[in-house]
Structure 1
Amino acid sequence: MEAVVREADPLNITPGSEGNHFAQAYREWRRAYYNRFPTFWGTLPGESVEEYAVYGALEISHEHAEALRNASSRLYTLMTRLALLLQQADNESLIEMGIPVSALPYVHIVMPEMPAVMCGRFEFVMSAEGPKLLEFNAETPTFVVELFHMNGQVCTDFGLPDPNVHCQQQLVQAVRAAITAGLDWIEPQPSGERSVVFSAYAHRKEERITTEFYHQLLLEQGDVPYRTSFRGLHELRVTRNGLFTADGERVDVLYKLYPTEHLMLDEDVDGTPVGLALMELVRKRQLAVINPPISFVLQNKALVAILWALHLAESELFTSEEHAWIEQYVLPTYLSPLDAEGQPIFTGQHVIKPVYGREGSSVTILDQHEVIEHSQWNFYDKQIKVYQQYAGLPTTTIQTEAGLTPVNLVHNCFIVDGTPSAIGVRACQKLIFDDNSYFLPVCSPTTT
């Protein structure tokens, strides 16, 4: 389906008329522009320099922006309700949906005053019928700097209306609220000055800058009644008595841009399972983490399959209006490719993806038994899979350094402390989006 949004033309140029000469000029303009922001990854380093941030913007109608935010708000309500029930479920049910056995004690931890997701990102197909949910990046979302900062910067510099105005302030308030809830939750209450640490891999630019972005937003609000810092994961020390920085500072609240499924496998050089030890500190309320343990349940793609199954069963967990929301926004999703009679559930196009997969790895798109597309990487093949009806992505053509490029679009909407927030678009020539898909800034319609 061709995208109903149109590509904005902030440069007042006609790319198609200038061929290769224009592509060369575009490359110079794009790199010169994004080079103004050295902490941002507008161009991806590597064996070959890759374009990431597009020099332009895609216009999204007010109706589509509202539809994305409505869908996110409604789905967040339904999914958090279900995730809270699953936190209280027996271990067998959690294992069946792909929760690792070693993470079960962690998953059962409830932090009632902290938002289930301080900041999470929904991914949608924008279909002719409106948004259709692909997945919910609830625990460790990226694309934060792009939508809460760079998108507004592009709109300002190009003289375009920003659909995400005021979203950064929403995010600041959510960060503060989550920290306050975490500090109130830990036991016993610290007697001295309390400490909040933001942490990620220090050598991975996107993860480090995203985490530092949260920290910087907090600092810009003025004095806060606790110590705050960014520390690389390698600077943290887990002991039986708490989490400490390398220089001995106790950590009370930890924001970690580091997935729980990776954390639980981490070991010290002597084989000590430090990741599990950190999770045990949370269980003993000696440490609060953001996003909290429920976000690890929300991150699991099997939650969508369970939501769909409850809808088909007409579960009383949801009202008739909420069942209509599920029908409207959720693609048929299952934990098995076969029905109760052993017959294939899907006879047409569908997607197979791991419950804790990331960055498009280990994903297959099939039409019956014919492979339409398969991931380049297969890091998560051993995980439990979900089987989801395929929905065709909207398409458009954008100017890139390679020339005019047809791309598929995935629409995103952040949820911040339960409130829908920044929206944005990623673009990719493939059907399976990976970590190198384009960041395509978005704008609201201009008034004439």
Structure 2
Amino acid sequence: MRRVPYGPVRDGWQLTNFSLGLTYNDTELPDGTMTSYWREGPYYDFTAAEIEELETATATLYAMCIEAGDWMVRQCPRLTVEGRKQGFFASICNDETCFLARIGIPEYTHEQIIRTWFDGDAETWTHYDKDPDMRLPMQTPDYSPSVYGRFDLWYNGAGSTPRLLEFNAQTPTSLVEAAVIQWHWMDQTGVTQHEWRQWNSIHERLVGWEATPGEPGDPGAWRRNINKLREARTWLPEKPKIFFAYETSETSGEDRMNVAYLMATAEEAGYPVELIAMSQIGWDVAGDRVVFVPAPGQEHKAEPIDVIFMLYPWEWFWHEEGGKAFFRNMADPEKRGTVWIEPPYKAALLGNKALLPVLWNLFGDDPERGKYLLPAYFAESSKAAKLTSFAKKPVWGREGGSVTLVRDGVPITTNPSEYGADGRYIVQELCELPSFDGLEGTLHPVIGSWLIDGEPAGMGIREGIGTEGLVTGNTCNFVPHTIESGA
């Protein structure tokens, strides 16, 4: 792994990137100046062996996350038969009895978090662990699709071991630049002729590919997930319409374009799609279901939503007015409730920082799997108090907000934000991002390792500058990569 500081610069690269979907390239820095989010010229180059190491780490980490999710749901009383009998509005979970309650997840969501976690695995959902005390009542088989996710990894090339910093499981962005922009950059510059050229099969894994002589085809994540959903929900048409929702208050255009890209891949996979605002998701009281509410002036009427992808954090959604109705609507597939992509468990079990101490507790002593982790603890624990160099992170946080790095007892960088107001934090042993020299100063890259349908699919790299760049925030740049460019 090396940083090539002086790569080719394409004529008109800004317009090219814009035409491919990178409409949010201009980034405003804290001092009010504007800079380019995409770095044209520099790139990171990897050996094939390094890519294989990153791919292995990604697959191993995801398998560990699945085991960690199983552990978390075991800690919720609503997993038991008796717990489920208590009903939707009863209260049986608290910080002492339930892990989900401890990390701040409203109790009314717990049953659906557990149900969507086990969807697609009827045997597990019906006879959990073969334990009579944990056995659940028979459920109508259902399926909750999950399409993508992204690990943020520390890595410094050959001789080092990738380490998990966090898992962006529900709403990862930088998808457009990772899947499309850097691929076209590599293709247009011809900087590498290696057989692989770039670790990047994100697009193909979403839309699938045809079989060739000697090579099997792949239906892709969209077809695979929707086909499984239709097996569970037989009333759905062969090509159900998929709505794609984004939050319009995000004004840079990043959320819109990431959602639009995913929508384009679903359309390429053969499904009817529609892009909508989060504010257009409504509730039909008479029909007891989620509907699309057209904007004023639109011709068609409110339309039931069977399937929707939402780029909006569940941890915001379940604290908002109307959240209980949406969760109740999921409860019984026979009522044809709305299917949400990504499902609630992606935020509740995998997409928050509480995952990190759970992983360390389960796998920290495992020499083969624990090597990909950093020691992590809940901030109030005695083990956390013994750390003198650590990253303190809010359980519910984004873009590096409210993350503090402490080296030998002295804070070296802070990033104040609204996150962490609930007082829930974890600490993770400090592992400062690698350093590379550049014209701008010392540069610190973080590897964004993508999963498509649970499989390693590619990489994007973001780098920060100087001490503040040790925490990857929204002012950090995106830099492309190659495999064995020879430069």
Fold shared, TM-score > 0.5 on shorter chain: yes
The offset of 1:426, in angstroms, is 0.5
2:211 equivalent in structure 1: none
What is the letter of the counterpart of residue 419 of structure 1?
E
Instruction: Determine whether 1:420 maps to 2:456.
Output: yes
Structure 1 position 32, deviation (Å): 5.4
Alpha-carbon separation, structure 2, partners of 1:190 and 1:220? 19
Structure 1 residue corresponding to 2:472, chosen from 418, 433, 445? 433
How much does 1:330 deviate? Answer: 0.4
What letter matches 1:176 in structure 2?
Answer: R
1:229 is aligned to 2:258 = no
Cα 1:298/1:119, change in 2 over 3 Å: same
Q: Partners in 2 of 1:108 and 1:79 — Cα distance?
A: 15
Offset at 1:131? 0.4
CA contact (8 A) 1:115 1:417 kept: no
1:318: which partner in 2? none
1:171 maps to 206
- For each residue in 1:2-31, what CA deviation from the matched residue of structure 2 results, as whole angstroms up to 9, or x when unmatched? xx413164328xxxxxxxxxxxxx9x9664
What letter is aligned with 2:151?
Answer: F
1:147 Cα offset (Å): 0.8
- What do residues 33-86 of structure 1 show as CA deviations (whole Å, max 9, x unaligned)? 545546532223685423200002221222222111111100101111220342
For 1:245, the aligned partner's letter is F
DSSP-derived class of the 1:108 partner: helix
Contact 1:60 1:445 (C-alpha < 8 Å) held by counterparts: yes
SS at match of 2:54: helix
Shift of 1:338: 4.1
Q: For residues 243 and 45 of structure 1, what CA distance do their matches in structure 2 show? A: 37
Aligned length: 405
What SS does structure 2 have at the residue aligned with 1:135?
strand
Residue 433 and residue 36 in structure 1: after superposition, are their counterparts in 2 closer, same or farther (change >3 A)?
A: same
Alignment equivalent of 1:369, drawn from 379, 384, 409: 409
1:303 & 1:232 partners in 2: Cα distance? Answer: 30
The whole-number CA distance in structure 2 between the counterparts of 1:260 and 1:38 is 26
Q: For the residues of structure 2 that align with 1:165 and 1:301, how far apart are their CA atoms?
A: 27
Aligned twin of 1:86: 72
State whether structure 2 residue 361 is matched by structure 1 residue 309. Answer: yes
Which consecutive unaligned segments of at least 5 residues does structure 2 have?
Answer: 77-92, 121-142, 208-219, 294-300
Residues 165 and 434 of structure 1: is their aligned pair in 2 closer, same or farther, counting only changes over 3 Å?
closer
Structure 1 residue aligned with 2:303, among 249, 255, 262? 249
Q: Could you tell me how far apart the structure 2 residues matched to 1:104 and 1:395 are?
A: 42
Is residue 291 from structure 1 mapped to residue 334 from structure 2 by the alignment? no
Does residue 144 (structure 1) correspond to residue 180 (structure 2)? The answer is no
> 2: CA distance between counterparts of 1:440 and 1:276?
41
Segments of 5+ residues of structure 1 without an aligned counterpart are 13-25, 267-272, 315-322
1:335 aligns with 2:378: yes
Q: Which has the higher contact order (CA 8 A, sep 6+)?
A: 1
Instruction: State how far apart, in whole Å, the 1-side matches of 2:340 and 2:21 are.
Output: 30
Task: State the superposition RMSD in angstroms.
Answer: 2.7
Q: 1:137 to 1:38 in 2, by over 3 A?
A: closer
- What is the CA-CA distance between 1:413 and the residue it aligns to? 0.5
Match of 1:410 in 2: 446
Q: Aligned partners of 1:333, 1:77: CA distance in 2, in Å?
A: 18
CA–CA distance in 2 between the matches of 1:243 and 1:192?
21
Match of 1:379 in 2: 419
Q: Summarize the Cα distance change of 1:185–1:384 in structure 2 as closer, same or farther, 3 Å threshold.
A: farther
**1:124 aligned counterpart, secondary structure:** strand
| Aligned-partner Cα distance in 2 for 1:80–1:116 | 15
What code does the residue aligned with 1:103 have?
T
**CA, structure 1 residues 339+101, in 2 after alignment: closer, same or farther (shift >3 Å)?**
same
Q: For the Cα contact (< 8 Å) 1:305–1:335, is it kept in 2?
A: yes
**TM-score normalised by length of structure 2:** 0.76
The question of 1:40 aligning with 2:19 is answered: no
| Residue in structure 1 matched with residue 49 of structure 2 by the alignment | 63
Change (3 A) 1:36 1:10: farther
- Kindly state the Cα deviation for residue 102 of structure 1 after the two structures are TM-superposed: 4.5
Q: In structure 2, which of residues 182, 186, 210 is the aligned counterpart of residue 155 of structure 1?
A: 186
Take 1:198 and 1:427, find their aligned partners in 2: how far apart are those partners?
A: 29
Q: Residue 22 of structure 2 contacts residue 176 of structure 2 at CA under 8 Å; is this kept in 1?
A: no
Using the TM superposition, give the Cα deviation of residue 190 of structure 1 relative to its aligned residue in structure 2, in angstroms.
4.4
Cα pair 2:145 2:225 within 8 Å, conserved: no
SS in 2 for 1:446: coil
Q: Which AA in structure 1 matches 2:386?
A: I
How does the TM-score come out when normalised to structure 1? 0.82
- CA 185–48 in structure 1, closer or farther in 2 if over 3 Å, else same: farther
* One-letter identity of the residue aligned with 1:434: G
Q: Is the 8 A contact 2:21 2:257 kept in 1?
A: no
Given candidates 195, 212, 217, the residue that maps to 2:265 is 217
Listed one character per residue, the Cα deviations across residues 258-302 of structure 1 (whole Å, up to 9, x for unaligned) are 100111122xxxxxx223322222223311111122212111221
> Counterpart amino acid of 1:201?
E
Query: Does the 8 Å CA contact 1:152/1:164 hold for their aligned counterparts?
Result: no
The letter of the residue matching 1:236 is I
Cα 1:30–1:229 change in 2 (3 A) is closer
How big is the shift at 1:382? 1.8
TM-aligned CA distance change 1:164 to 1:42, over 3 Å: farther
How far, CA to CA, are the matches of 1:73 and 1:148 in structure 2?
Answer: 19
Q: Deviations over 1:342-385 (max 9, x none)?
A: x83213x1011011210111111113432111114243332411
Q: Which residue of 1 aligns with 2:8?
A: 11
Q: 1:55 and 1:109, CA in 2 relative to 1: closer, same or farther beyond 3 A?
A: same
**Cα distance in 2, alignment partners of residues 418 and 192 from structure 1:** 24
The 3 A distance-change label for structure 1 pair 397 and 185 is farther
Cα separation, partners in 2 of 1:193 and 1:422, compared to 1, 3 Å: closer
Question: Percent identity between the aligned chains?
Answer: 21
Kindly report which structure 2 residues correspond to 1:92-171, keeping only aligned pairs within 5 A, or say none. 92-110=98-116, 111-113=118-120, 114=143, 117-127=146-156, 128-161=159-192, 162-171=197-206
Q: CA deviation at 1:308?
A: 1.1
